[in-house]
């Protein structure tokens, strides 16, 4: 459970008074997530999510994230909308942290997504990419290819304790990724963390995308590669080509892949796996004392890095050119 910052009832009541939401009826720390502190608050105007932004979120990036949610929801993408204070601000401060209230989305995330969930995801991701084409703000990907080596350096000395031989394997993969990373793919606003726990469904239908706090400006196909890693491997880490085919064809129904994206997909997928391997390793070695959080296993992503190294063409993922 990720509750890094406790909020007292009095502080919450004072905070809510700035919004046109009536009184707080109840509030509860949310037992999901690892990045930020989230509370489900029930107010006289209904349920909302209160987020206090923690370590990885830079205050200067919050107008981008909150503005993106506003932009996308105005275009019909099912995602939370930030709630304005009475004076029109989207961002406030609570318990010494930047904080915002966003609308509550109905639905549940799927722990074991089926191929039809993957197809829905693909369509929603492409729709999000299309809808953000006229979003006026940009944000560099601070966890992009150039960040991986310095990020690994912060954990390299302890890496061998977590996974023997990891330092050598990561160094070898980073050499390949840095030397071959494509620079000329179509770029736009990407979600960059669209894991199953960030996608809600009502029955078979996708009902919401959440957690835009890694969103940035980068290659659109890299976002697809992140989803391929997060949605198309089974708990035993076997690759499920039926799910991959569903995801990729759902995406290309709305936005077909260019030839360059098709060619780059195996490398993008290896890079995407590397990014999550490295952040997980970093967090695994630094669980804050007393925080209610379960760190995620870096080894699952090493297995994916290795898998993608063995792929030579996107058709091995079930994608037709």
Ligand X SMILES: N[C@@H](CCO)C(=O)O
List contacts with ligand X (CB under 6 A).
34-35, 193, 195, 276, 279-280, 296
Beta carbon of residue 39, minimum distance to ligand ATP (angstroms, whole number): 9
HSE-up of 236 (CA within 13 Å, CB side)?
A: 2
Closer to ligand ATP by Cβ: residue 30 or 167:
30
Provide the mask over 147-186, with x wherever binding to ligand ATP is found by CB under 6 A and - wherever it is not: ----------------------------------------
Check: CB of residue 92 under 8 Å from CB of residue 18.
Answer: yes
Closer to ligand X by Cβ: residue 32 or 253:
32
Burial class (CB in 10 A: 0-12, 13-18, 19+), 258: middle
Rg (CA), the chain: 20
Check: CB of residue 54 under 8 Å from CB of residue 65.
Answer: no
Check: CB of residue 5 under 8 Å from CB of residue 93.
Answer: no
Among 12, 17, 105, 260, the residue binding ligand ATP under the rule CB under 6 A is 105
Comparing CA positions, the residue from 31, 250, 209 lying closest to residue 107 is 209
Look at residue 167 and give the partner it binds from ligand ATP, ligand X, none, a contact being a CB closer than 5 to 8 Å depending on partner kind. none
Beta carbon of residue 36, minimum distance to ligand ATP (angstroms, whole number): 4
Closer to ligand ATP by Cβ: residue 189 or 198:
198
Determine if 213 is a binding residue for ligand ATP (CB under 6 A): yes
Rounded distance between C-alpha atoms, residue 240 and residue 279, angstroms: 24
Determine if 38 is a binding residue for ligand ATP (CB under 6 A): yes
Among 41, 77, 210, 264, the residue binding ligand ATP under the rule CB under 6 A is 210
Beta carbon of residue 193, minimum distance to ligand ATP (angstroms, whole number): 6
Determine if 100 is a binding residue for ligand ATP (CB under 6 A): no
Look at residue 2 and give the partner it binds from ligand ATP, ligand X, none, a contact being a CB closer than 5 to 8 Å depending on partner kind. ligand ATP
Look at residue 276 and give the partner it binds from ligand X, ligand ATP, none, a contact being a CB closer than 5 to 8 Å depending on partner kind. ligand X
Burial class (CB in 10 A: 0-12, 13-18, 19+), 266: buried
Comparing CA positions, the residue from 282, 315, 272, 277 lying closest to residue 298 is 277
Q: Max alpha carbon distance in the chain (Å)?
A: 58
Determine if 80 is a binding residue for ligand ATP (CB under 6 A): yes
């Amino acid at each position: 459970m990720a509750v890094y910052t406790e909020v007292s009832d009095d502080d919450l009541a004072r905070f809510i008074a700035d919004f046109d939401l009536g009184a707080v009826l109840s509030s509860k720390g949310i037992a999901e997530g690892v990045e930020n502190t989230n509370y489900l608050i029930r107010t006289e105007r209904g349920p909302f999510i209160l987020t206090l932004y923690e370590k990885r979120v830079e205050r200067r990036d919050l107008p981008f994230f909150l503005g993106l949610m506003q932009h996308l929801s105005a275009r019909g993408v099912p995602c939370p909308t930030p709630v304005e204070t009475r004076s029109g601000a989207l961002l406030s401060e609570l318990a010494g942290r930047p904080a915002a209230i966003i609308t509550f989305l109905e639905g549940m995330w799927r722990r074991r997504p089926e191929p039809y969930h993957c197809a829905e995801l693909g369509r929603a991701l492409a729709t999000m990419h299309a809808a953000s084409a006229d979003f006026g703000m940009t944000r560099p990907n601070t966890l992009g290819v150039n960040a991986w080596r310095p990020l690994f350096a912060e954990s390299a000395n302890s890496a061998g304790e977590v996974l023997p031989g990891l330092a050598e394997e990561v160094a070898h993969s980073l050499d390949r990724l840095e030397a071959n990373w494509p620079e000329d793919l179509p770029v736009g606003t990407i979600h960059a963390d669209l894991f199953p726990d960030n996608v809600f469904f009502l029955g078979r239908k996708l009902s919401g995308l959440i957690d835009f706090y890694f969103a940035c400006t980068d290659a659109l196909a890299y976002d697809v590669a992140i989803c391929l890693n997060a949605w198309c491997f089974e708990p035993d880490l076997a690759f499920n080509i039926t799910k991959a085919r569903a995801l990729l064809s759902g995406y290309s129904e709305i936005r077909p892949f260019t030839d360059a994206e098709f060619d780059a997909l195996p490398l993008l997928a290896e890079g995407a796996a590397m990014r999550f391997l490295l952040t997980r390793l970093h967090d695994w070695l630094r669980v804050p004392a007393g925080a209610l959080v379960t760190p995620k296993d870096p080894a699952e992503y090493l297995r994916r890095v290795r898998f993608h190294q063995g792929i030579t063409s996107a058709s091995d993922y079930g994608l037709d050119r």
